[in-house]
Every structure is written in C-alpha cells, then in structure tokens.
Amino acid sequence: MRQYEVAFIVHPEVDEDGVSALTEKVQGWITASGGTVEKVERLGKKRLSYVIRKQRDGHYVLIYAKMNAGGPLELERNLRLTEQMLRFMVIRVEDSHLPSPAPPAETAEPAPPAAPAEPAA
C-alpha cells in the first residue's frame, strides 16, 4: 500500500457538525476501497488565497491515509461529486516526507549549552 495525503476545503456555510460528518464520509470511502486512515487534521476555517465559487473562506481538512493503487481514483470521483467540496487534492507521499510523531516529553533532553566563542586575535 502507498501513503497518500488527502486535502480538501469544505464550503464555509457548512457547520462544524457537517464538516465532521463529511470528514467521516471521506474516511469511509478510504476504508471501503481497502485503505486505512493514519491521521486526520482539521485545520479549521481559514481565508482562501483567491475566491472559489464566490467564497472567500473554507474549512480545511487534511487526511493521511494508506491506499492501494486504485483507491485514489475512486476517492477523487466521490470527492468530485460532493457539492460541499470547494477544492480537493490527493497526492502520493514518499515515506521520508511523512510527519513523524513527536517524541515523549519526558525522554527529550535539552541540548547542552554551547561554549562561548573565543574572540579572534
């Protein structure tokens, strides 16, 4: 299975419950195609860079998922038919570009202080 990022922008008139329902629907499409959802990031309502369908704002959602090769095609078809979507993007991600989980706070040690630099003579 390959790693993918699914990013989409939901119409600003959709409320928080609607965005949650739509996110769960997208996750269902991913799992129905044989994929798995690794992580979901709801980035909230933000200003768009440019006007899309007469809208200046949108709810941003980012999903990290693993899917088979045919999974993104079916997912894109479903996203294209969803009226609440302003824009979407499905991209394949190399393993080296995946976000790594943060190390536990108790194991992280502060860096030792740097020695003062000697003035040049």
CATH assignment at residue 9: 3.30.70.60
Judge whether 81 lies within some domain: yes
- Asked whether residue 102 is domain-assigned, the answer is no
**C-alpha–C-alpha distance, residues 4 and 27, integer Å:** 13
Residue 45 lies in a domain: yes
Task: For residue 118, tell me if it sits in a domain.
Answer: no
Number of structural domains the chain divides into: 1
Q: What CA–CA distance (Å, rounded) separates 8 from 87? A: 6
Structural domain boundaries enclosing 21: 2-95
Beta partners for residue 61, in sequence order: 8, 42
Q: Above 90 in pLDDT, residue 108?
A: no
Q: Is the pLDDT of residue 99 over 80?
A: no
Q: Is residue 86 part of a domain?
A: yes
Q: What are residue 68's phi and psi, to 5 degrees?
A: -75, 175
**pLDDT, tens digit, 9 for 90 and up, residues 29-65:** 999 999 999 999 999 999 999 999 999 999 999 999 9
- Is 41 a member of any domain? yes
Of 41, 78, 46, the closest CA to residue 63 belongs to: 41
